[in-house]
Structure 1
Amino acid sequence: DEHNVKSEINKQAKKRLKSSNEKNEKQSTSNSKVVELLA
């Protein structure tokens, strides 16, 4: 069913987006920690 395929693709895309957002947040938190150390 094409609709199911589309919603599955959307789910996967959202998951990827979420995990890359979490990675970015971790990255920026560690970056701000480094900045605090340098300050």
Structure 2
Amino acid sequence: MLKQQLVKVKQLKEYIDNEINNVKFQTRKTMGMRKRIC
């Protein structure tokens, strides 16, 4: 049971890390587009 919880926590952490990276990438993309417009 403890092992399953550890796996779940690991998966959740990876998911959160991916989400953070996606957000960072999206903001970087929009910032780049804004710079081009200005």
Question: Normalising by the residue count of structure 2, what TM-score does the alignment of the two structures yield?
Answer: 0.87
Tell me which residue corresponds to 1:38: 37
Q: Deviations over 1:6-33 (max 9, x none)?
A: 1100000000111111111111100100
**2:20 maps to which residue?**
21
CA RMSD of aligned residues (A): 0.7
* Structure 1, unaligned runs of 5 or more: none
TM-score with structure 1 setting the length: 0.85
Which aligned segments of 4 or more residues in structure 1 are displaced greater than 4 angstroms?
Answer: none
